[in-house]
Amino acid sequence: MMSDPNLLSTPLFSVQQIKAAEVNAVKSGCVSLYELVERAGHAAFELLSERQANTSKVLVLAGHGNNAADAYITASLLLKSGFDVELQASLASHPSDELTQAINCFQVSGGETKPFDVTKIAIATIIVDGLLGTGIKGELSSELTKVINTVNGSNAWILSLDVPSGINPNTGSYQQTAIEANMTLVFGGFKKGLLTGKARHCCGEIKLANIGLNEFLPESSTAQINSFTLENTFLPRRRDAHKGNNGKVSIIGGDYGMAGAVRLAAEGCLRSGAGLVTVISRPEHQFIVSATRPELMFWGCELVDMEVYLKLGWASVLVIGPGLGNDDWGYNLLKAVDLTDKPCVIDADGLTQLIGMPMADKDWVLTPHPGEAAKLLGLSIAEVEKDRFAAAKRLHQKYKGVIVLKGAGTIIFDGNQYYVAPVGNPGLASGGCGDVLAGVIGGLIAQGYKSIEAACLGVVIHGSAADLAAQEGERGMLASDLMPYIRQLVN
């Protein structure tokens, strides 16, 4: 039995929404901009005092915006607390009032601003990054590029204030380079780009500092989901339940030489809790599918005939694409699926076949990785990865349904709400892992979840299973290694 999940999630915001909240907070008379800077600096100081209490020497790097003001306040508090602090900065020609006050506070505390010195940066043990924050615009200067690359080449423990310098906080991408932090302390609200794309590598552990903006933040159309989303979602099944209660799924694919893809998708479907699963594939693949997982039913398909349509009609959900191939056999199967009224998950080669077909169904889930998304949109992979949110939106505009844009920080979008799932690890970058995800999502739809719920839960289950499997190492992780953890997580 399942609950009716109201997906447990954390709101994510754009930089513009955070800035608007700051303006509204100041207008309310509750706080000044400088007091917000002070609160941010205090939060960073407290974190450093707790995490790095055994090390007294800290190098603070500052730019010339309000992120720099946060860094100056942090440095002032560290000095007062007895830390050995050096602050290196690029001086602003027209500093804001907040930055001017923060610099004065630092100087009153006995601090002295020094120019960037890559020799000292290279040997630092703790670095506080207050170079750019959310204020990145255009290309980095050669000086900043050199500083950031030196920071990344050091052995220092790195704390980024609000955003790792160089990262676009709305998209998670960067142009040239970005700080690779051990920890990022975000102020006021989670920036949506920090959980996806290149930011997944650069942010390290992410902590949120409440600086008093909560009541001024708007309703958000973007949310984070993670393993906590699974809490109280899967209730115990009724004692009189039978397999017919848990849905019937047909998994379609596995052209010559690709039996493994459809086999993995089918077991992922079973492990997610589906009651009955039939594989429709090349007749030659029956032994591979049935011998290794006898719980799976099998129907050999050489041609799309009436028997195939009966098997499609038998199912409550269809999953098509794993190992489907790009020849007429796969094309005809996808056309047959299009003639049904069944909820559908389309993955892998099914997405490639979709490019030349005039199909836009509201009751399907599409699960492209960036390469497949690029083909579907007629873009380059770099263009997709530059703004993954925009790419997911364009995919939905073109194909409707629910879009699952896989990758580092998978994005799920249904036309109204974005969900970002910072789960999983590079161990998933191996053959068959995406096929397992398609099967899991199909299995959840079969059990009664709405497509958007199944997509979100499926991504979290799949990524969390990979994180559990990675306890034995990311390298060499296989798609089949996820299966026992999928079963664990749906229970």
**Residue range(s) of every CATH 3.40.50.10260 domain in the chain:** 14-220
Q: What mean pLDDT is predicted for residues 454-481?
A: 98
C-beta of residue 395 within 8 angstroms of C-beta of residue 405: yes
> What is the spatial distance between Cα 305 and Cα 19, in angstroms, rounded to a whole number?
59
Nearest-Å Rg of the Cα atoms of the chain is 26
Rounded to whole angstroms, what are the CA distances from 482 to 8, 272, 462, 486? 23, 11, 7, 6
- Residue burial 31-51, b: 16+ Cβ < 10 Å; e: rest: bebbebbbbbbbbbbebbeeb
pLDDT tens, 372-428? 999 999 999 999 999 999 999 999 999 999 999 999 999 999 999 999 999 999 999
Class of domain 228-489 (CATH, top level): alpha beta
Q: What percent of the chain has pLDDT over 70?
A: 98
**For residues 453-458, average pLDDT:** 97
Mean pLDDT of 100-125: 97
Phi then psi for 415, rounded to 5 degrees? 100, -20
Does the pLDDT of residue 206 top 50, yes or no? yes
Query: In the CATH scheme, what is the code of domain 14-220?
Result: 3.40.50.10260
Closest CA to 75 of 93, 98, 94, 48: 48
Q: Which of 349, 414, 407, 337 is nearest to 375 (CA)?
A: 349
The token duo for 138 is: 């255009």
Would you state the structure tokens that stand for residue 338, as one six-digit string? Answer: 């299009």
CA distances from 89 to 59, 60, 191 (A): 11, 8, 25
Give the ranges where 210-273 is alpha helix by DSSP (H): 259-271
- pLDDT over 90 for what percent of the chain? 88
Q: Which two tokens stand for residue 386?
A: 């530059």
Strands, sheet with 297-300, edge to edge from the N-terminal-most edge strand: 10-12, 222-224, 418-421, 410-413, 402-405, 364-366, 344-346, 317-320, 248-252, 276-281, 297-300
Q: Compute how many other C-beta atoms are within 10 angstroms of the C-beta atom of residue 338.
A: 15
Per-residue confidence band for 306, with pLDDT thresholds at 50, 70 and 90: very high
Q: Give the per-residue pLDDT at 6.
A: 60
Contact 127, 155 (CB under 8 A): no
- Answer whether residue 358 shows pLDDT above 80: no
Rounded to the nearest integer, the mean pLDDT of the chain is: 95
Q: Is 2's pLDDT higher than 70? A: no
According to DSSP, residue 350 is labeled H
Does the pLDDT at position 363 exceed 90? no
pLDDT-based confidence at residue 9 (cuts at 50, 70, 90): confident
Name the nearest CA neighbour of 213 among 194, 191, 187: 187
Contacts (Cβ under 8 Å, ≥6 apart) of 277: 248, 249, 250, 251, 266, 269, 270, 295, 296, 297, 443
Residue given tokens 């990145």 in the structure block = 136
Edge-to-edge order in the sheet of strand 205-209: 113-114, 84-89, 57-62, 126-130, 157-161, 183-187, 205-209
Report CA-CA distances (Å) from 403 to 58, 104, 190, 352, 361.
Answer: 44, 50, 23, 15, 12
Q: What is the band of 14 on the pLDDT scale with cuts at 50, 70, 90? A: very high
Residue 8 is predicted with a pLDDT of 72
pLDDT of amino acid 1: 39
- Whose CA is closest to 369, among 415, 419, 329, 409? 409
User: 330 versus 95: which is more confidently predicted?
Assistant: 330
Instruction: Count CA atoms closer than 13 A to 378's CA, side-chain side.
Output: 3
**Would you say residue 4 has pLDDT above 90?**
no
* 27-39 mean pLDDT: 96
Residue ranges, comma separated, of all CATH 3.40.1190.20 domains in the chain are 228-489
Tokens of 87: 């602050």
H or E stretch including 148? Answer: helix 142-153
What are the b/e assignments for 190-227, b being 16+ CB within 10 Å?
bbbbbbbbbbbebbbebeebebebeebbeebebbbbbb
pLDDT at position 144 is 95
Of 316, 350, 344, 313, the C-alpha closest to 330 is 350
pLDDT of residue 3: 46
As given in the structure block, the two tokens for residue 98 are: 């907040």
Distance separating alpha carbons of residues 167 and 179, to the nearest angstrom: 8
Q: What is the DSSP code (8-state) at residue 469?
A: H
Which residues neighbour 16 within 8 Å (Cβ) at sequence distance 6 or greater? Answer: none
Tokens encoding 314: 């038998």
pLDDT level of residue 347 (50, 70, 90 thresholds): very high
